[in-house]
A and B are shown apart, each in its own frame.
Chain A
Amino acid sequence: MFILRLINDQLLKMQWLSELVRSLTENVFGLDISTRLGGSIHFFVYDIIKIFILLTVLIYLVSYIQSYFPPERTRAILGRFRGITGNALGALLGTITPFCSCSSIPLFIGFTSAGLPLGVTFSFLLSSPFVDLASMVLLASIFNWKIAIVYVVVGVVLAIIGGTIISKMKLEQYVAPFVFHQEVSEFEEGTVMTRRERMTYAWDQVTDIVKRIWVYIVIGVAIGAAIHNWIPAELISTLLGQDKWYSVLLATAIGIPMYADIFGALPIAEALVYKGVGVGTVLAFMMAVTAISPPSLIMLNQVVKSKLMAVFVSVVIVGIIIIGYILNGFNTLLI
């Protein structure tokens, strides 16, 4: 157990880094970290370094695994299943298939034209932006494993239920007709990558993703540091406190228009939890930020009619709010 705790504290939570940044703040800047400014500097420097280290390692590992699941293969696997099994598999594969919002349309068309049920495709589209291995480990680092596992489980469940509702509603008529007739290539098993190619691919993903999201992380950490040290706790508990019935609704409403990566949303979530905001409220905020991204919706709107979009968005929002309230009920068990 001692070894496990050591790994958890030093590798995952990086307590050595926290100490290092503390002594840097105190000795170089001459600021006590219990002061506001010192505390902000500590939070900012420590969090940025920690997130970037974890991000690099995690994206590398995750991308290596992902290289075994190109979208073509995922589609071939999903094509063999129907009903709830298909939705469940869609949600799970969504967590490991490489995906960026700019690929959502070709992917949607590729899945649908191959005859995959609409609900399965939506289960996939739902889970892929906000549940993945990297975010799970980061949640474990910032909070704990209980919260990390709960986040992944509720995320996958939401994706399965959301997809199932869309299946049951028979909304195929709201998809642009050309989508069903589009020819797409089959997955060629012949194109197997070598280990070296997978390593190159994984490293390319790291540089590519870091280049794309570092701004969100810096902004997220800066907001986190501001919440942590400058915004009065009373203000936050008035708005988002656990005793407030509207806290989850408000957190979701703030999160929806925000377009950020999950890694940018995490430091904000971290600071909010320290201020006593309920876990359910904070996770609802994170899910709202990542699951509903306006750019991706605008693109998706080119191929599906607004009615289907509205169903999709409402299912996600209602789901997030329900999850938020349920988790707030279990708050004391999670922290």
Chain B
Amino acid sequence: MDIKILGPGCSRCASLEKEVINALAEMDVTADVKKVKDIQEIMSYKIMSTPALVVNGKVKVAGKVPKREEIKRYIKEELA
């Protein structure tokens, strides 16, 4: 699984990354988690607010830090 966290490096991006890593650990799923800070690459996902969570190339959420349960749901969607 390929997970990207989009954000120019604000505190909310850091908390999203932490939540994703915790969610993955609790679900016992391995994934390649990458932080994307380059603005052009971030914009290539056509979002208008950060942080954003991208799982397997699909934008799951933008502009907020979702709850851990919500993150797990997005991961599950991609596992199925």
* B window 3-29: CB within 8 A of A: 7-13
Q: Does B42 touch A at the CB level, under 8 Å?
A: yes
Write out the residue numbers on chain A whose beta carbons fall within 8 Å of the beta carbon of B40: 178, 182
Chain A positions within 8 Å of B, measured between CB atoms, are 70-72, 75, 98, 100-103, 105-107, 109-110, 178, 182-185, 201, 204, 208, 212, 295, 299, 302-303
Write out the residue numbers on chain A whose beta carbons fall within 8 Å of the beta carbon of B79: none
User: CA separation between A269 and B47, bound complex, in Å?
Assistant: 37
Question: Is the Cβ of A71 less than 8 Å from the Cβ of B46?
Answer: no
Shortest distance between the CB of B63 and any CB in chain A (Å)? 7
Query: How many residues belonging to B are interface residues under a CB distance threshold of 8 Å?
Result: 21
User: CA separation between A105 and B46, bound complex, in Å?
Assistant: 12
Within 8 Å by CB of B48, from A100, A106, A204, lies A106
Q: Does B1 touch A at the CB level, under 8 Å?
A: no
Question: Is the Cβ of A105 less than 8 Å from the Cβ of B8?
Answer: yes
Shortest distance between the CB of A229 and any CB in chain B (Å)? 32
Question: Is the Cβ of A204 less than 8 Å from the Cβ of B64?
Answer: yes
| Given known contacts A183-B46, A184-B48, A102 and B7 CB-to-CB distance under 8 angstroms | yes
User: CA separation between A98 and B50, bound complex, in Å?
Assistant: 11
Q: Does B49 touch A at the CB level, under 8 Å?
A: yes
Q: Is the interface of A mostly helix, strand, loop or mixed?
A: helix
Within 8 Å by CB of A184, from B8, B11, B46, lies B46
Question: Is the Cβ of B48 less than 8 Å from the Cβ of A107?
Answer: yes
Q: Does B71 touch A at the CB level, under 8 Å?
A: no
Contacts A/B (CB < 8 Å), 27 sampled:
A70-B63, A71-B49, A72-B48, A98-B63, A100-B10, A100-B12, A102-B7, A102-B10, A103-B63, A105-B42, A109-B43, A110-B43, A178-B40, A182-B43, A183-B46, A184-B43, A184-B46, A185-B46, A185-B47, A201-B64, A204-B64, A208-B64, A208-B65, A295-B10, A302-B8, A302-B39, A303-B39
| Given known contacts A71-B48, A212-B11, A299-B8, A105 and B63 CB-to-CB distance under 8 angstroms | no
Within 8 Å by CB of B50, from A103, A185, A204, lies A103
